[in-house]
Amino acid sequence: MIFVTVGTQLAFPRLVEAMDSLAPDLDEEIVVQCGPVKGVWNNIVAVQSMAPDEFSENFAAARVIVAHAGIGTILSAKNAHKPLIIVPRQFKFGEHRNDHQMATARYAQKLAGVHVAWETDELMGLLLNPDLEPAHVDPGPSHAALVNRLRDFIDQ
């Protein structure tokens, strides 16, 4: 199963439409959480939002996750050890308030198991790859340093 999520805040029709057009050529169930938008798609079933446990169930059941370049999604993929394909939202298409998802994607592509489709026409190649590397949790020294700084401040 392919789980597609665009987060809860904003619609992302470019990604949902791309998945709709790819669906006939993918022999795989596609579950889409499409955000606040009312659309009619021919080949996929989409729900606007999911309760947290329903979201987690779909996340766990998926072979691969396709998503916007949201930090929450990236962290979820790391926790769930899933291969993640991200399409960054772009300001020029009105998909977010600025281009911070482009910056996130540039950084996240260095993370194991995070694969960036800079344009939607790169999705098919990634989705047809049966051996996409999964993301994984690797709490590094930078994470520990941040926690220690906060703990020192809180305890003082």
Partner 1 sequence: MGLSQIDLAGSQAGHDMLGASRSDNRGKGVPKNMTKKRILAIASGGGHWQQLMLLRDAFQHHDVFYLTTLPGLAAQFDANPSALVPDCNRDEKLAILHACWVIAVRLVRFRPHVVISTGALPGVITLVLAKLIGARTIWVDSVANAEEMSMSGKLARRFADLWLSQWEDVAAAEGAEFAGAVL
Contacts with partner 1, residue ranges (CB under 8 A): 7-9, 51-53, 56, 70-76, 97, 100-101, 103-104, 106-108, 111, 139, 141-156
Cβ proximity to partner 1: between 40 and 154 the closer is: 154
Tokens of 138: 């690797």
Q: Smallest gap, in angstroms, from Cβ of residue 61 to partner 1? A: 16
Cβ proximity to partner 1: between 23 and 84 the closer is: 84
Cβ–Cβ contacts within 10 Å for residue 154, how many? 7
Cβ proximity to partner 1: between 24 and 153 the closer is: 153
Q: Smallest gap, in angstroms, from Cβ of residue 107 to partner 1? A: 6
Task: Write out the H or E segment, with its range, that includes residue 19.
Answer: helix 13-22
Q: Smallest gap, in angstroms, from Cβ of residue 66 to partner 1? A: 17
Q: Smallest gap, in angstroms, from Cβ of residue 154 to partner 1? A: 5
DSSP for 66-118, written as a single string: EEES-HHHHHHHHHHT--EEEE---GGGTSSSSSHHHHHHHHHTTSTTEEE-S
Cβ proximity to partner 1: between 72 and 125 the closer is: 72
Cβ proximity to partner 1: between 21 and 90 the closer is: 90
Q: Smallest gap, in angstroms, from Cβ of residue 22 to partner 1? A: 26
Nearby residues of 82 by Cβ (< 8 Å), 6 or more positions away: 59, 62, 64, 65, 113, 134, 135
CA atoms within 13 A on the CB side of 2: 26
